[in-house]
Structure 1
Amino acid sequence: MTQKTPLYDIHVQYGGKIIEFGGWMLPVQYSGIIAEHRAVREKAGLFDVSHMGEVKVNGPDALAYLQKAVTNDVARLADYQVQYTPMCYPDGGTVDDLLIYRCGAQEYLLVINAANIAKDYDWLKRNTAGFNVTVDNVSSQTAQLALQGPLAQTILSQITQAPLDKIGYYWFMRSVQVAGRQVMLSRTGYTGEDGFEIYCRNEDAAPLWEAIMTAGKNQGLLPAGLGCRDTLRLEACLPLYGHELSPQISPLEAGLGYFVKLDKGDFNGREVLLRQKEQGLTRKLAGFVLTDRGVARSEYPVIAAGRQAGQVTSGSYSPTLDKNLGLALVETEFAGQGQKLEIEIRGKNAAAEVIARPFYKRKG
């Protein structure tokens, strides 16, 4: 059964082209993917990300529980700080990648991927044994908007008294007023740009959307859909669960070793990940540019040394760089910068070359 976010009617009203994504009816685009992509890179875009999941973890053992559940070191978080982390199975495969918001010593909010809400919640509940914690799925009560782009702060400052310049990257304010509505506001996002994510009650989502669009109407703000969300995150080389990460792909293979703290103590998957690190990875994520015509798509074969040596995890035309780029999981010997590859596109091989990641990095 497909679900609708509290902003579904707004998307229709704004001319959004609606598709089914991870069990949700969401806009893939409004004015067009390239126009929306450029708006986010140069000015600002507003996304509905209410389909994302939210899980509260509370109790005296909240920190110890999360330390066991995820790969990053949650003990490093200060109050009102946000952390990105993978979450693994005991075999090192990835359950999901998520954000952890520390609201207090015994109170955390996890933000998880939409398609994984039921699976993640079940996994989190199953791992509470021996810990004095409560784990509550509050996804259905929470809406989320993402205002992304270099003008995000300028636009938002028109409708809030909150000291936005005091919110550092990956920090948040737990309770502020935006356009007269009580929200949680974080300086986070999934586009490679500066921006904010706004968590609110379902009934406040539409008024907030309209207030932000009005505040940004002379700043070049556009409503933005899933299409440009994907091209933006690909340019910034941010992983997408089900592509760069999966139960079959470990965070180390996905190039996320920075978020795997093997020295913090025991956690799910640590033994396998430690072994992978010590013995060396047999496959790695590589970024590539196509030097022939064609666009690489997920699951296309990657050919090296005359044989299949991996497969594409994500690929697209990059509006910012005007190139056809992609990410692929390949045998380690073929993952080095400058390595020549071929991507099999509909039965024909197109030449490609491994290049540095991320493909795009914002200035400042």
Structure 2
Amino acid sequence: MSELRQSPLHAEHEKLGASFTAFGPWNMPLKYGKELDEHHAVRNAVGMFDLSHMGEIWVNGPDAAAFLSYALISNMETVKNGKAKYSMIVAEDGGIIDDLISYRFSDTKFLVVPNAGNTDVVWEAFNQRIEGFDVELNNESLDVAMIALQGPNAAKVLVEQVAEESKEEVENLPYYAATMAKVADVDTIVARTGYTGEDGFELMIYNADATKLWQLFIDQDGVTPCGLASRDSLRLEAGMPLYGNELSRDITPVEAGMGVAFKKKTADFVGAEILRQRLEEGPKQVIKALTSSERRAARTGAEIYAGEQLVGTVTSGQPSPTLGHPIALALVDTAANLEEGAEVEVDIRGKRYPFTVTKTPFYSREK
């Protein structure tokens, strides 16, 4: 087994007493203190995450949009400059290789951000699909750091450090958009996407500038360093899928509820024939949300029953720190016809507990 990669901020995490965990090929902070405190910090103020394990692949050239429309399931040619799009890349058989976000900066320039454990396979797939397209690929994944500020006070904390000429643009940046700005005199890609169910920003900088920005924000009142444990509980409350749990090579975007991404797409793309057929036939399984008034939480792999019939498996589950009761995402058989409000039982260590099918997100901030 190869040695785990370290974030350019690893020494900063050690100073803060972080405990670490393997995440893909990276050694990343799991938590700094109590993960519940970190979770609540994001819900109530500002949490700061090191996301330097995420990939950064530039796609440049006259055919950049056409290439990504072929390589991914979505129509990327309709993405406006300055905006971002969530999509998926699939194998020839339709299985999901990764879910990712693409940012369009100009007619000929995109930045694609894959997940940590999938960056290498996405890079390989892009290179296999490039033939016939006038594009240049540049993988900066090991050269770029990413810091995320998430929470209701994230905009206020960030804008205070943004150069005067960019303050208004950053403060008013729409959701799923990105821009360039100087943050504490550091050239920064500022994106407003997020994975927590809160307002927030991702700051992409070169590794050499990462420590400066991290230390700048960690010294601000109300900013709490947060690890992967709270990131997972936050994304689950927001009903967002995690690759390796809800998403994998064993299911297609149709099962994942992403058929809408290519439903009206006429252009060819990798996996198109199989996915269009699957969409027409309908999925045999779908991702559903479950909630319970009991105390016992369903964990990944727990079996789900409708009466005595096994109808699915929990893909993610834990007690919701914000809501105070167990929540879960699951892959269930469509034949079971489990609509919102349906009652099921989940086998937790040999005993069945009642759960109810609900809708996502489990949590969303009132506007």
Name the TM-score class by shorter chain: over 0.9
Tell me the residue number matched to 2:356: 353
Are the equivalent residues in 1 in contact too, given 2:257–2:286 (CA < 8 A)? yes
Match of 1:146 in 2: 148
After TM superposition, the structure 1 = structure 2 runs for residues 323-338 of structure 1, keeping only pairs within 5 Å, are 323-332=325-334, 333-338=336-341
Q: How far apart are the structure 1 equivalents of 2:297 and 2:259?
A: 28
Q: Which of 178, 186, 190 is the matching residue for 1:172?
A: 178
Superposition map of 1:85-104 within 5 A: 85-104=87-106
Pairing partner for 1:114 from 103, 106, 116: 116
Look up the match of 1:189. 194
Matches within 5 A, 1:202-351: 202-214=207-219, 216-217=220-221, 220-332=222-334, 333-351=336-354
TM-superposition CA deviations, 1:218-276 (whole Å, max 9, x none): xx221011011001100111111111111111122112334334434221222222222
**Amino acid across the alignment from 1:18:** F
Unaligned runs of 5+ in 1: none
* C-alpha displacement of 1:299: 1.7
Instruction: For 2:332, give the aligned amino acid.
Output: V
After superposition, where does 1:156-167 map in structure 2 within 5 Å? 156-161=158-163, 162=166, 163=168, 164-167=170-173
User: Which portions of structure 1, spanning 4 or more consecutive aligned residues, are displaced by more than 3 angstroms?
Assistant: 257-262
Provide the rounded CA distance (Å) in 2 between the counterparts of 1:92 and 1:151.
40
5 Å-filtered alignment, 1:6-155, equals: 6-155=8-157
Aligned residues: 360
Q: Return the alpha-carbon distance in structure 1 between the equivalents of residues 197 and 263 of structure 2.
A: 24
Q: What fraction of aligned residue pairs are identical, expressed as a percent? A: 39
Partners of 2:312 and 2:331 within 8 A in 1? yes
Deviation at 1:50, TM superposition (A): 0.2
User: Are the counterparts in 1 of residues 295 and 325 from structure 2 also a CA contact under 8 Å?
Assistant: no
Distance in 2 (CA, whole Å) between partners of 1:316 and 1:260 is: 32
Verify the 8 A CA contact 1:71 1:261 in the aligned structure 2: no
C-alpha distance in 2 between matches for 1:48 and 1:351: 37
**CA–CA distance in structure 1, aligned partners of residues 35 and 193 of structure 2:** 22
Q: Is the 8 A contact 1:84 1:259 kept in 2?
A: no
Q: Secondary structure at the match of 2:339?
A: coil
For the residue of structure 1 that corresponds to 2:126, the secondary structure is helix
Alignment partners' CA distance in 1, 2:185 and 2:22: 32
Mean Cα deviation higher: 255-264 or 146-155: 255-264
Matched letter for residue 194 of structure 1: D
Task: State the distance in 2 between where 1:310 and 1:291 align.
Answer: 20
Match of 1:200 in 2: 205
TM-score w.r.t. length of structure 1:
0.95
In structure 2, what residue type is equivalent to 1:170? Y
CA distance in structure 1 between the partners assigned to 2:338 and 2:285 by the alignment: 8
Q: 2:354 & 2:243 partners in 1: Cα distance?
A: 27
SS of 2:316 mapped into structure 1: strand
Matched residues in 2 for 1:15 and 1:260: separation? 45
Letter of the structure 2 residue corresponding to residue 6 of structure 1: P
How far residue 17 of structure 1 moved from its aligned partner, in angstroms, is 1.3
- 8 Å CA contact retained: 1:73, 1:261: no
Of stretches 320-329 and 127-136 in structure 1, the one that deviates more from structure 2 is: 127-136
Could you list the runs of 5+ residues in structure 2 that have no partner in the other structure? none
Contact 1:262 1:274 in 2 (8 A): no
